[in-house]
A and B are shown apart, each in its own frame.
Chain A
Amino acid sequence: MERVNQTLRWVPVWSLYLLGLLPLPWLFYLGLTGALGPEPVKALEHEYGELALKLLVLVLAVTPLRRFLGLNLMKFRRALGVICFTYVLAHLLVWLVLDVQIPSQILADIVKRPYITVGMVAFVLMVPLAVTSNNGSVRRLGPRWRKLHRLTYPIAVLGALHYLLLIKGFQLEPLTYLAVILLLLVLRLPIIQDQTAVRARE
């Protein structure tokens, strides 16, 4: 694992931004040219949303991966978070501009439809995290920065819940996301951390 960590040290963070953001215009282009099927609006909305959820899982996995496997991805965590927010924003914009289209209906939807309410709450919680994702904010906020960014935990749960609430019938995929996210959060509980610490000492 030490060798992997050594290699990763040479990977510049900007390459992750480049790679991670590439699907954004690419998917839009696919939608424009008909490659996303007969209903590109919904397809694009889902693609962006699901990518955001996957990135959230990755962000949450960084700490457990380091603690339990010794894999150090800490350097990339902030980039993953920012890329995730970008996809959430794209997801929201597709919904607003291409899908719903009618402003009065948007407001009504946010209030009336639980899955949209949940999604909007998650988005609003993400805004302060995105705004403070620069070095200046980290310095200025000090220890409060870490505390603020624990908002990622409820955001991830709300994101998975948003997916679970919008599907029809009993489906496996949203449940899988929710389960993985809950597992990644449980791994942070003090009890589990203490036990692994004990084992490490033994």
Chain B
Amino acid sequence: MARRWTNTLTPADVTPEAAFWNRRQIIAGIAGMGLASLSGAGQAQAAEGELEPNSWEDVTTYCNFYEFGTGKGDPAAYAGRMTTSPWSVKIDGLVDKPGDYDFQQILGEMTIEERIYRFRCVEAWSMVVPWNGFELADLLNMAGVQEGAKYVAFETLYRPEEMPGTAYRVLDWPYREGLRLDEAMHPLTLMATGIFGKPLPNQNGAPLRLVVPWKYGFKSIKSIVRITLTDKEPPTSWNMANAREYGFYSNVNPNVDHPRWSQATERRIGGGLFARRQPTLMFNGYEEDVASLYDGMDLTKQF
């Protein structure tokens, strides 16, 4: 199925933020040369040249993480209370090696790469984020996916004493998300452990979050404590709260409006008071990579 990314950055390559921009330019140059010789291998990165990441400040202060409150500034203000070490992830269901995996142990097994992805929120704003992380496929292969598995279910930490937002039933806690197995195994699907070469700040979903760049941001579940392989489509939080507005797939699609607002355009965060709206791209710009996953599906019905 999926071709692999060949980037082999490790934690040893992590660069101080001051040097980050300089290094970005060098890498972009090398990547450009390398990919030109590999026909067809550069689709995911093809648009990368135009992707200018948002600032650290934008990415870490404008967040949705309802466990800490519904305001955009709430996660940055309150997520500091969340204990992220020690951290373990329960992997269970249809896997060969179920169990509680220590986060550090997972990190030791994985190769951390840098991925610069578009990030499109269902609320019609967007950012560009330089993530660090590893492919979810690698983690699932480590646990050994069994034959009958068709879906992957995820759960966020639920710890009311550290999460003031959970005092209100904004959603049915713990937060749940899910992917079809082929979506989960796609090489674009990332388990992020950092941004800008630094560990993930708590408000961005420390220590381990999902990033599915062609879907609306809420699919990219934060602070994961459980991953379950299953043969049934798992219930997901926003779909449970309002199925008419939030489908299981939630692929970025400018042609399918949210019932309460248009998805045709988006506002890029960080542009200031007078920034123009931008047209939203099908599958958030990753159409060539992922459209085939949905062959034969009516995306206006299975949205």
Contact = CB atoms under 8 A, between A and B. Distances in A.
Interface of A: 31-32, 34, 37-42, 44, 98-102, 105, 108-109, 112-115, 165-172
Interface string B249-278: 000000001011110110101101111110
Interface stretch (B38-46, B57-65, B182-190): B57-65
B4 interface: no
A38 B261 contact: no
A77 B248 CA distance: 50
A35 to B, nearest CB: 11
A108 B262 CA distance: 9
Contact of B170 (A39, A105, A170): A170
B169 interface: yes
Given A170-B168, A170-B170, A32 B273 contact: yes
B66 interface: yes
A37 B264 CA distance: 24
Interface of B: 54-55, 57-58, 61-62, 66, 70, 72-73, 123, 125, 168-171, 241, 257, 259-262, 264-265, 267, 269-270, 272-277
A102 B264 CA distance: 11
A31 B260 contact: no
Nearest to B58: A38
Given A41-B267, A113-B259, 6 more contacts: A37-B61, A37-B73, A39-B125, A105-B264, A168-B123, A170-B168
Contacts of B73: 37
Contacts of B62: 37-39
Contacts of A115: 260
The interface residues of chain B, by DSSP majority, are classed as: loop
Contacts of A114: 260
B108 to A, nearest CB: 35
A101 B272 contact: no
A31 B270 contact: no
B61 A167 contact: no
Contacts of B274: 98
Contacts of B123: 168
A168 B237 CA distance: 12
B262 A109 contact: yes
Contact of A171 (B170, B267, B270): B170
B72 A109 contact: no
A111 to B, nearest CB: 12
B265 A98 contact: no
B273 A31 contact: yes
A170 B173 CA distance: 12
A35 B84 CA distance: 30
B70 A167 contact: yes
* Residue of B70, B123, B273, B275 ringed by the most chain A CB atoms within 10 A: B273
Contacts of B54: 38
3 smallest beta-carbon distances between A and B, as pairs:
A38-B58, A169-B170, A38-B62
Contacts of A105: 262, 264-265
Contacts of A99: 267
Contacts of B125: 39, 42
Contacts of B264: 105
B208 to A, nearest CB: 24
Given A101-B277, A169-B66, A40 B260 contact: no
Nearest to A114: B260
Nearest to A99: B267
